[in-house]
Structure 1
């Protein structure tokens, strides 16, 4: 539900709300109007078109926003430039490119302060809060949302407070602090009722209902959902109406009221397909409805409902999680309908799709993080899963032994007659095939459980460990303040602990950043490295330069593993230069390199990364390298390349990676 509400949060901070429901025909008419409009009107249209397409056609949104920014060249267009910059930050935030999102939000915030645009200052601050929230930086997000609330109370109007109160409530909601979340959602709801914001009230009612369900108060949650559903229908917000209806149906399923859930889910499916609103979310409703029919042992209706999903999974292949659940539902229905062949086919599809979502590399990274942070509860759950697997394998082995024993007995009792022998042999073959199928299904089911367990671990690391480390840093800083005047060794020790915890947060964010991407573009990598270099500039007087060749930008995407290895090599080399070289300038470059001799054109592409400093250098023959250089060489080997390190006394050092 989080992404759904993110859209609404941006809509409610003053951007053009009408465009979230505007038809494509109206968008086309605005494009035509922009051709003859004056400067300020044209730029406003570009901003509104860009915001609309962020959630529909992202590349088209980026095109409109960049086009508008190119035309903001005079002081008269400063307001439009600030709005466009902030909306470009929203674009990158929705796309998950958080480094770029932070850059544009901060740039827009600085511009709004410089030009005195108080209304935009609150929006840009809210945008920074949203970006931090999406990255799991809850404390930073709360700080920005509270700051935006203060700015609105100082420069804005009371009827706008509900947006920021709602955002604060959602942060507490994600932190599983239901009581605090309810406090702020209820404040937001009170403002929306006072100012008769009938379009916003259903959103607050839905948020409150979600938290009430978490507290086990299903009766009050149902009351809120029914009211919100009726209001959404009254104001004509069909998308929100369908979402509230789906949530209400899910509540009925949780409370074993399947008969009430079925007609609501059917209404959502028929309504979205008829209106073409949020059609990609129909797959989830189909899965829930099929599950309800299966629970009622109505396999005919379950299979009929699942039939509707065939075209949708082709139309929306990006909905991988929903599609994997759809495959599982089809598999379950066919198994129960005595069609094990088809059931097994879809079961394998479901597992294969989940494997593509949660790759082996992600699983290994998650396991490493699990050990690092000693998540004992998760380890215990994995141990239980492995024990279940062992029990199932033992059962299968016993069944196989029984089958082969029966087969041997049948051979020994061949005197019973040829016909009986043939019949017994056929029966044994059938039992063996069933046993093999059950073995495969048991292994697949266990693998599925392991993948789901690892996903929960990754989510816990993302949502909990980061906030806990932030709390530790804050507590240490408060302790240092309380120990003012204490021995220097004590405060220094606390400072080192705080720095170590901060570095751990950065390492955790870097790892999760790579884990959450199937591939990493050079633009992503450039933004990440630039962000690291900007932080390094703050703590040193070294002049940094980072260059990426244009031909690399146009053509290359790296896997998440490759991108992480390149980033870590550059990070380690820059840190070494800062620690030991006494350099005044460090340059990092990424470019194409000639293919190795003997390889034909078009076989592949070689890349070169160089980290150069003008420091004091060192004697290559008299210097022994430590773990840092060993790690660099290991990562280069993983990339299929090699690293060369050259250094001259008083001439500096060059670390050159070619892969």
Structure 2
């Protein structure tokens, strides 16, 4: 998520930011094996002078006080506009409501300048909500006023924010033209804020066009201006964009370095949308590091940042942040092997992007969802989404998404043994990679960054020398005063106090070190257990799974190679093949449970939903219904044994209904009664009389599983009355 800088007016004391770019860097998961060695590495201590409120909250409160105490209509409306402008960083819906009121009041007051400002602000707000058609309407209204005005503040505000709208549409040439108009005005009147802002925005357009050397040069110039003016928020945005540029060049260490510096400054300033962008961008880089180095810890850290971004976006009603969080969460879940959950998030991301007509996010969502389907062996759906995403990326000339989509399509065709097509798309991927990340481009970018860092360090050294010289003078004066007024007794007392404090500090440090060692020991033990579970699951998958697959292949070869005409033998071979296939499916479910210490209700729900989808596809004459009570806490966790047994009971019940009941409808409902979960599997089939029919192994196994997890299983059935299985656990 790159940062575009927006100005409502040069008179404004606070600069707003809009996080508009999310370009998840896709990657290959087909040969990835996860190694669990999780260490406690994240400890953040946040010490602020302001604890209860951010700087923006305090400013909003102050403006409301001025508004309530003001009686002059024009000044009152102007103050209300400033309130709406500040809300843009914390709650967009509140900003829209306030700015619409300002627009109405400005029209009544016949104040063109204030009305233009409110219209530009509304255009910006709707851009942030991804409602670009509405944003264009407000910018067009503002244009009719600004065209008659000589106010450079209004002109730069309109051009800059309209450029952002074009950026949302991926019309980078038009966006660059608008930002260059702002830069020309800013240079003419020597407005450093707008010059810095324009450099940043033009650089973003250049980076999307592949001109990384020019982009970095402009970001550095913007950072210099921000440093000279001690403008931490603009400096944070420059660091953010430099970090993203290095990520595009696959230099992930430098990307992480700059993004961490950026996030720290953003959190100090308290700008919500900037912080959300920081979480998403840092998550993207950590994900790339995790995949490249096969580092599970980095992948889990990335997921943590994405979850923070999603939570904060929902709190701030920041729709664009939500839209971007879901495809990234889909990527992470796919990366760590949770394909069902990855598909679930991917569907949410795609639906949101289509509903909001966000083509850029739709492209990324389709490619990510397609790759999740590929890993889940659902090749038809994978082909549909990957090809659609690739075609849209080509149409919009988005080279980076084209590159990663072509790699995914190559892997998809390779999985299906279409090696010719796989090779064609891999060549496309290779050519795009060379054009984006050539050694020459990287060397030039690194040279510019080195010059910038060297220049900054030289300035810091000069400042430190001056500060040291000043401190020496102060210390010298204090020493003279101390020696003249304090006797030997006082000095001994001070030394004793210092020694006591030092010893106390050492004791605290020893205590903390012991606590840390205990924590690391616990984590080490957990890691060893997890590694053992993963090793067993890999052995099951690689050895038994491969042997079963070989058996199926051998049976098929026997049938076709020897042209067996004996129907009984053919049926027997088919039965063996079906049994081996079923065993593989059961083995995958067992591996899924073994890879987890705990299974969340959300994981279980996704697994059940996926099984019902497959059953629905296989059974054309049966309608399936799956309903979960909305009051159930999706974050609630079950042990892996309990979760697996619940899943097996539901699976067996559905299997029996399909095989024996001759049903037209099968429904699965889950609800919560008191502290228990009640799971109901019901069909409208022919049923059976429990008094006369002997229960088979399937029903007995279900009762045994329910008993093992401390649950109750009731079977209600009658001839021509269907069958209902109720699990209370």
TM bucket, shorter chain: 0.3 to 0.5
The alignment's TM-score, normalised by the length of structure 1, stands at: 0.46
Larger Rg computed on CA atoms = 2
The alignment's TM-score, normalised by the length of structure 2, stands at: 0.43
